[in-house]
Every structure is written in C-alpha cells, then in structure tokens.
C-alpha cells in the first residue's frame, strides 16, 4: 500500500476518532436514539464537519459496523493461529470475546428492523464482504465442531451460526451487570454456560 501523506494520516486519525465515538454511542443508546449532534459533540467538532467525512447517519453506523467486523476478523485470525485449540474452543473464545465487548459497553447495536440502516448496510460492499468472510470462517469451525462431536450434529449449521451472532446482541449480560449483583467474570461464565450447555444440569 502506498505511503500516506501527512494530510491523509490526519484524516485517518480524525475519522477513526469519529468511528470510536459512534461505536460507543451505538453501544450505549442504539441507532435510533443516537443523534448526529451527540456524535459531533462527543468528537468535539461541528456537525457540518462530520458530514464532510460521512454522507449520512447511516453511513456513520455502517462505518462502526465495518470496524466491528474488522476487529472480529482479527480475533478469528488470532484464534486460527492457536494450533492446539479445537474448532469448538475457538468458537467458545469468539463468543467470550463478544460478551466482553458487550460488558465493556463497546458492542454497537443496530436494530435489524430499521429499514434505512438495513438498506444502507445491504448496499455496502465492504460490509457485506466482511460479513461473508466472518460467516464463512465461523461456518467452517461450526461444521468441524459438529464433526468432532462438540456441537450437536443434528442442529443445522445455520441455527448455530445465528445463535453465535445473537449472543452479540443478547440483553441478558447487560441486565445482569446493571443489577450489580455479579462480577463481569461471573456473568461471562454463566452466560457461556447457558449458551453452550443450556439451562439443564451439567453432563
């Protein structure tokens, strides 16, 4: 990749700061309740300046989602590098990472219902490409884990994949944290247990 000029580097840094604010605000309030004014205030620039970087509120959210997927891909790389780990253990680590992000208030939440945002995301080539990559890699681990007998082979991989994704936007851990009765570690462990082994007593 060509070396970036100083101007371009400054641009990158600024846009990264914007995306970080959007990420936090999306995690905090969700897309509908997040306002562009808040984003501008949080970044510390004028709203009109935001629109020089991103064409719309939807584009802001899309950028945050793209960065989330990039971070997720990095986690997948990291797990793939663990030569000793089984596919199931890698999946476990990915879910655990998602829970950590949620409890840290850094998991952006975008309602799958919002039509304007949904349309923007489905039209976003970069986002779709990353989502496809993530799904394919998770899908391979899921099928491997099923072959290993670590995940029920009777379950369609589609359901397993959706379940993994759903843990990323599950309200349970945040509610438990809000109750103040448990530590983050306890919450993570219990939610992992329920996810993998269900509510029934241990095997």
- Contact footprint for DNA (CB under 7 A): 7, 11, 14, 34-37, 44-49, 51-53, 55-58
- DSSP class of residue 31? H
Cα-based angle 99, 102, 108 (whole degrees, multiple of 5): 130
> For DNA, which is the closer residue by CB, 10 or 162?
10
Q: Which of 2, 3, 5, 113 binds its own copies (CB under 8 A)?
A: 113
**Which one of 7-15, 66-74, 128-136, 150-158 is the stretch in contact with its own copies (CB under 8 A)?**
150-158
Question: How distant, in Å, are the alpha carbons of 85, 114, 125, 169, 182 from that of 33?
Answer: 41, 12, 26, 17, 28
Identified binder of its own copies from the candidate list 144, 163, 177, 184, rule CB under 8 A: 163
59 within 8 A of 110, measured Cβ to Cβ = no
User: Applying CB under 8 A, which of residues 13, 119, 123, 196 lies at the interface with its own copies?
Assistant: 196
Phi, psi (5° rounding) for residue 3?
A: -70, 140
Largest distance between two CA atoms of the chain:
59
85 binds its own copies (CB under 8 A): no
- Nearer CB in complex with DNA: 34/160: 34
Whose Cβ is closer to its own copies: residue 59's or residue 194's?
194
Measured from the CB atom, the residue of 40 and 160 that comes closer to DNA is 40
Distance CA 157, CA 162 (A): 9
* Residue 37 in the binding site for its own copies (CB under 8 A): no
């Amino acid at each position: 990749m060509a070396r970036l000029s100083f101007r371009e580097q400054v641009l990158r840094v600024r846009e990264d700061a914007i995306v970080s604010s959007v990420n936090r605000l999306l995690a905090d309030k969700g897309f509908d309740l997040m306002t562009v004014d808040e984003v501008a205030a949080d970044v510390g620039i004028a709203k009109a300046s935001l629109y020089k970087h991103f064409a719309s509120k939807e584009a802001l959210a899309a950028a945050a989602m793209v960065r989330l997927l990039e971070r997720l891909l990095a986690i997948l790389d990291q797990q793939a590098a663990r030569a000793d780990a089984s596919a199931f253990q890698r999946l476990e680590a990915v879910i655990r990472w998602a829970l950590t992000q949620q409890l840290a208030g850094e998991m952006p939440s975008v309602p799958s219902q919002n039509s304007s945002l949904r349309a923007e995301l489905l039209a976003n080539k970069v986002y779709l490409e990353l989502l496809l990559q993530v799904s394919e890699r998770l899908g391979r681990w899921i099928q491997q884990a099923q072959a290993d007998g670590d995940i029920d082979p009777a379950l369609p991989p589609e359901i397993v994949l959706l379940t993994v994704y759903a843990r990323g936007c599950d309200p349970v851990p945040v509610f438990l944290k809000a109750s103040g009765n448990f530590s983050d570690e306890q919450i993570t462990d219990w939610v992992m247990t329920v996810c993998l082994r269900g509510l029934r007593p241990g095997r």
